[in-house]
Amino acid sequence: MGRMWASACTRHERFATSLCMKDIAPRRPEDIAIAVAPAGFVLLWSTGFIGAKFGLPYVEPLTFLSLRFGLVFPMLGLFALAVRAEWPRGAAIGHNIVSGVLLHGLYLSGVFIAIHRGMPAGIAALMVGLQPILTSTLASRWIGETVRPLQWTGLVLGLVGVYFVVEGRFGDGQSSWLAWGAVSVALCGVTVGTLYQKRHGGGDLRGTMPVQYAAALVFCGTGALLFETRDVQWTGEFIFALGWLSLVLSWGAIYLFYWLIRRTTATRLVSLFYLVPPVTALMSYFLFGEKLAPLALVGMAACGAGVFLVNWSPASERA
């Protein structure tokens, strides 16, 4: 009996020790990356407005984007060849062309044209801020994702927060019908493009991204040839903006975006876009001295609370 009791105690101690070691074991690198990636994505994506503010006074929007994609496409293509990435084949090529036109071509060209045509950045941000609501509505029908009532509450709260952030920055100018049409196209492009990439965007990202940027280059380049003068003022501000948007946004931020698409639901991912206007407002405050109204601070808190509700999971689901 003594030996049996000692053996049982030993097994119990080993089991308890294994549980303790499991609780204190370091997290896997991928788990850490998943936890850190959303914050990095929001910070990088928010700098897109800063880059546009620096660059658009010196170039027309489609010409700007054509130069941007013309830099990114060969860089990513050479990188894919260097690391021997797997390139898309067959139907996957068509899927990536569609994703590239929607997410890079329509979305960015719509935003850039709207701002170039006189729409205040605040209104453009508010219009694109409708994306999480539309994406969640379509996600529940198109790709079968379940959006809980608490998540709907968070989506609405985040939208209200975005309005508070940009409400004091609308400006007094009247936006043209072309600006409103362009920002509406941008909203549709990023919404449908996110869901399309979620459903069809498989394969090696290192090989698929060059294909997408090649499609966006053809799309924007054709528009620049048909509708713009293609004049460029090569100032220091424009070169900085072009380099930043090409390297940091079109490479780093988009890669993070696609990486997160594969590892979370569409509703949770697009809720991060609610944090972009507040972060952009803070950047504009420090870089350009733009006024930050007290109501904007309330809006930032509402955006944060909305994103928390969308991404919070009940204890049963976490288990």
Place of tokens 């797997």: 86
Task: Give residue 168's pLDDT.
Answer: 55
Residue 18 lies in a domain: no
- Residue 41, in any domain of the structure: yes
Q: Is 170 helix (H, G, I), strand (E, B) or coil?
A: coil
- Per cent of the chain over pLDDT 70 is 72
Q: Please report whether residue 26 resides in a domain.
A: no
- How high is the mean pLDDT of the chain? 78
- How many domains does one find in the chain? 1
What DSSP state is assigned to residue 245? I
d(CA 62, CA 108): 9
- pLDDT tens, 256-266? 888 888 877 76
Residue 170 domain-assigned?
A: yes
Under the banding of pLDDT at 50, 70 and 90, the label for residue 242 is very high
For the ranges 18-22, 91-95, 114-118, 305-309, the maximum mean pLDDT occurs at 91-95
For residue 62, the one-letter residue type is L
Q: Does residue 251 fall inside a structural domain?
A: yes
How would residue 104 be classed by pLDDT, with cut points 50, 70 and 90?
very high
Alpha helices in 117-148 (DSSP H): 121-128, 131-142
Model confidence at 23: pLDDT above 50: no
Residue 175 inside a domain? The answer is yes
Q: What residues make up the domain containing 185?
A: 36-312
b (16+ CB within 10 A) / e for 85-101: bebbeeebeebbbbbbb
Averaged pLDDT, 61-75: 96
Q: Phi/psi at 314 (nearest 5 deg)?
A: -60, 160
pLDDT for residue 106 is more than 50: yes
Over residues 85-95, mean pLDDT: 94
Distance CA 195, CA 188 (A): 11
pTM: 0.74
To the nearest 10°, report the CA torsion of 301, 302, 304, 308: 140
Q: Token digits for 167?
A: 């409400």
Q: State pLDDT tens for residues 120-169.
A: 666 676 677 667 766 776 666 565 666 677 777 877 777 777 777 666 55
